[in-house]
Structure 1
Amino acid sequence: MTDATNTLTNASRARIILAMMACYFLFAVLLNSVGTVILQSINSFAVTKTQAASLEGFKDLSIAFMSFLIASMIPRIGYKLALLGALAAVLCICLVTPQLGQFYAFKLLFAIVGCAFAVVKISVYALVGQLTDSPSSHSALLNTIEGVFMVGVLSGYWIFSFFITSEATSIEWLNVYYILALLSLVCLLIIVWAPIKKQHVPSNSSVVSEFTAMLKLSYQPLVLVFIISAFLYVLIEQGVGTWLPTFNNQILHLPVDVSVQLTSIFAASLAIGRLLAGQALKYCHWYVLLNICLFTMGILILLTLPLTQNVPQQAASTIFDAPLAAYLMPLIGLFMAPIYPVLNSVILSSLAKHQHASMTGMIVIFSALGGTTGSILTGYIFQHFSGQHAFYSALGPLFLLVITVFLFKQRSAPAPVVSA
């Protein structure tokens, strides 16, 4: 058990966990609103799908860039101060965005949110390492926090849908950012209240040496295979999740608000899938579970997409009027859910605690690059071919992920039982 864990009371530990959960909930709403914002930008600001897809790049590339720059510095700055700075920046941009009311404002919004999330994720993952004393407890807490993230994603779709009107070109939906600014303030106050201590940094270390150590991590075969796996997973998840509202609207001919609400099934599936996986992993090896999930994802894509061909236009005023395909496609999240947190937990549990911040930096960087690639590639195929072609394209990285997960299992040490 670590010194940090020994010196914390249960109440103090609970306050830190609450702070981490609150931050993850806020950023889940903000980051995963990109699909809704893409659809609304196409309608409200008359931008093309390719232009709208650039928002994913502003979000994910800023995450990658910020992670690369500061992953090794955050322990020196202090996790509490870093989190407060990130939340203050988000609070300001949420207040400014509705005032600007132009497409470029969202580029600025997602760039700042991306930079802030890089700080938050690195801090949270490092704090999980400090608050736990075994691989199983590490995985349990990480899965719980990632589960809260998915609850935030689910909530976000409904929060945004309440502000969307039937008038396609209206920008009244921008008022949602005042609510998110208020939520940012609440999170900031919770962080102030949480007893997050500054991590001890060895006196013989420097920013340069820690930055170099982070880069050296990527040369390890196990880490390299993990990085490729994380990249491929997020490519698939963001490609589907970001473009699902537009798919529902333009391929299934559903109203914008209904399209966004139905996308919440995807987030709910991810949340439920992670909770169920936590129980399944008590009895099933992680590699067996991930293979079941990967193959089921492929089957679901192949069975569902033919149902979306030539769907007739219909008057759908609620989610209950939607065709069957609108419910089946988001269920891919149920089987996608365990992959990312399980891979993260296995790689972090195999490293020393002082390497967790650097490893998290690598996770964030390549996850962000995968997210940008997935969204832009899906958007390009969507615009130049069709929505069906765009979602069929997920089968390529899915096949590659089967291979990299196999290599990851071969390279990793025998994994402990993972629980949630």
Structure 2
Amino acid sequence: MKYWKLKLSLIINYIIFAILLNSVGVVILQVINDFGVNPESASVLEAWKDLSIAIASFLLASYIPRFGYKRAMITGLSVVIIGSIMMPLFGGFAMSQMLFAMVGVSFALIKISVYSTVSLVTDNANEHASFMSILEGFFMIGVLSGFWLFGFFIDIANSSDSITWLDTYWVLAGIGAMALILLLSTELDESSIKTETDNPLQDFKDMIGLIKYAVVIFFILGAFLYVYIEQAINTWLPTFNYQVLQLPDAISVQITSIYAGALAAGRILGGYVMKKLNWFYVLQTSLIMASVLVLLVLPLTIGIEPGSITGWAEVPFAAYVLPAIGLFLAPIYPTLSSSILSALPKNRQSGMTGLIVIFSALGGTSGSMVTGFLFGRLDGQTAFYFTLVPLVLLFLILIPYRRKREQFDLNNKTAE
């Protein structure tokens, strides 16, 4: 298969960051239980991650093509390996904040480089969309694996004095080292993405200048709302399972993997379905189904007695069904991202990816912090009911985005 080694390298890079980025919910649960941090304070871990992503993307996105995609990925992997080693050595809430800041900056380098490199290893828009879906599908497989990995160490730690949940990071450092070795041994031809100017400031202005297009504005709003929803659920689902559904802590983490698995399956299935059906109707139907699922399942989570669940045999039906919302959310993000990137020339895709990463990070931070605030001030059911607001807003945003996207295509063809 053409570019198979490079594609494998991109996939493995994405998997290691999937585990680290989406461990926020697990770490929040653990710092609440182990370090006595309250939910509102614990929710800032998402901000340490996402604001670091946003700031790094804003400052570096236009410079990365000049620095080199491969070198940027090597730098990002090296930083998270160091952070993963530091975490079990120092521990504590402050170290958790530092780790997620390191992961955030590194992911900005990785995602911009990976997304931009996709155009270098694909030959047309359909192949671009297909590999984007594959990448995002493997990202969710990484997320799923991460929940079981952390759950495994949490379970062992409950019955051992020599093992703690922080020992998970030794495994992650090892995976990161293997990903780094593979990347170092992989060649990447970046000659086609050299910028037309030697002025980094002009490259930055070109990135910001993309916001003048209405289609980009609607895309940014859509990406922000999607990640708000995904991260609100992903970050707080382990705590929801523990505090609302009264599951043991290890099960609370492990059963969250259903959400990641649903997202992975939904993205793979969505890529197939959208070959047959119009993407707009697929996404609108998905948003309706996700909203219906929230309305049907959350009432089933009321009134569960503390201590009533001690093992998998007693886990309530709602704990298995609520994470299935990922199946309906899954196709949205890669479809939107591919639609905007494939419409741009290769040397402007890193700038657009920078905007994607910035506003996705802001959406993730907002979703996590608002949900954490609602958890602390109200209750878990109310916090999750509030996900209906961005679901409805995203449904509405897709309508003008579709129209502007079609006009953007038409204008580009006319210019050609």
Assess if the C-alpha contact under 8 Å between 1:261 and 1:319 holds in 2.
no
CA apart distance, 1:285? 0.2
**Counterparts of 1:297 and 1:346 in 2: how far apart (Å)?**
22
- In the alignment, which of 179, 182, 188 is matched to residue 190 of structure 1? 182
Which residues of 2 match residues 21-420 of structure 1 at below 5 A?
21-165=11-155, 167=158, 172-199=164-191, 200-202=193-195, 204-413=197-406
CA apart distance, 1:319? 3.3
**Counterparts of 1:203 and 1:61 in 2: how far apart (Å)?**
30
**Counterparts of 2:313 and 2:282 in 1: how far apart (Å)?**
32
Assess if the C-alpha contact under 8 Å between 1:44 and 1:168 holds in 2.
no
Per-residue Cα deviation, 1:237-259 (whole angstroms, up to 9, x for no partner): 10011000000000010000000
TM-score (norm 2): 0.95
Change (3 A) 1:169 1:60: farther
Assess if the C-alpha contact under 8 Å between 2:46 and 2:369 holds in 1.
yes
**Counterparts of 1:150 and 1:260 in 2: how far apart (Å)?**
15
User: Alpha carbon RMSD of aligned pairs, Å?
Assistant: 1.7
Change (3 A) 1:156 1:415: farther
CA apart distance, 1:397? 0.9
CA apart distance, 1:203? 5.0
Gaps of 5+ in 2: 410-416
CA apart distance, 1:99? 1.0
**Counterparts of 1:320 and 1:359 in 2: how far apart (Å)?**
48
Assess if the C-alpha contact under 8 Å between 2:47 and 2:365 holds in 1.
yes
Q: Which moved more, 1:199-208 or 1:360-369?
A: 199-208
Assess if the C-alpha contact under 8 Å between 1:150 and 1:267 holds in 2.
yes
Q: Which residue of 1 aligns with 2:414?
A: none
CA apart distance, 1:132? 1.2
Gaps of 5+ in 1: 1-9
Assess if the C-alpha contact under 8 Å between 1:258 and 1:317 holds in 2.
no
Q: Which of structure 1's runs of 4+ aligned residues deviate more than 2 A?
A: 165-171, 197-200, 202-205, 312-321
**Counterparts of 1:142 and 1:414 in 2: how far apart (Å)?**
23
CA apart distance, 1:61? 0.3
CA apart distance, 1:205? 3.8
Assess if the C-alpha contact under 8 Å between 1:262 and 1:319 holds in 2.
no
**Counterparts of 2:408 and 2:165 in 1: how far apart (Å)?**
47
Amino acid of the structure 2 residue aligned with 1:343:
L
Per-residue Cα deviation, 1:179-238 (whole angstroms, up to 9, x for no partner): 111111001001001112334524534211110000010121000000000000100110
Per-residue Cα deviation, 1:46-105 (whole angstroms, up to 9, x for no partner): 000011100000000000000001101111111111111111111111111111111100
Amino acid of the structure 1 residue aligned with 2:369:
I
TM-score (norm 1): 0.94
Assess if the C-alpha contact under 8 Å between 1:39 and 1:246 holds in 2.
yes
CA apart distance, 1:312? 2.4
CA apart distance, 1:371? 0.2
Assess if the C-alpha contact under 8 Å between 2:266 and 2:329 holds in 1.
yes
**Counterparts of 2:311 and 2:116 in 1: how far apart (Å)?**
43
CA apart distance, 1:316? 3.4
Which residues of 2 match residues 1-20 of structure 1 at below 5 A?
10=1, 13-20=3-10
CA apart distance, 1:305? 0.5
Assess if the C-alpha contact under 8 Å between 2:194 and 2:347 holds in 1.
no
